[in-house]
Amino acid sequence: MQSIEVELGDFSLRRRSLLVSHVAADLPRGLEPGEQVLLHDRVRGYFSAHVADLDFTAGDTVYRVAIRRGLTDDQALERMRGTFAPTGGRITRTDLVDLLGQLRGTVAAAPAPVPATATRRSGVK
């Protein structure tokens, strides 16, 4: 799993999204849409994420990375080693926490429901 050094601000964490320059991050290879990545901020720690979108410019590739959830150092190490995948088809606690993180991001991005308006009956029969 690709680990990316970043500086996460409050806005990025609230929006659960971050733009990452391929050149500035000095990535060894291109990332694919949907690819799972590990973000590391020196102050805030590790976060699971995935590549949600990408754009090409003349000299760079810019990735929009969707931030999922914070990870402990041990969880991040498991992901870097590739040992976090469930074995034998079993769902692990990490899988469930990832799913909850995904849902939280989806709910936060979903538009607020539109309140129903009261309708008045007309006197027409």
* pTM attached to this predicted model: 0.65
Collect the ranges in the chain with pLDDT lower than 70: 83-90, 94, 98-99, 101-125
Do the beta carbons of residue 39 and residue 79 sit within 8 Å?
Answer: no
Domains of the chain and CATH, by start: 2-84 (2.30.130.30)
DSSP per-residue codes, 50-112 = EEEEEEE-SS-EEEEEEEEEEE-HHHHHHHHHT--S-STTPPPHHHHHHHHHHHHHHHHHSPP
User: Given this model, what pLDDT does residue 75 score?
Assistant: 85
pLDDT value of residue 114: 57
Two structure tokens written together for 51: 């590549």
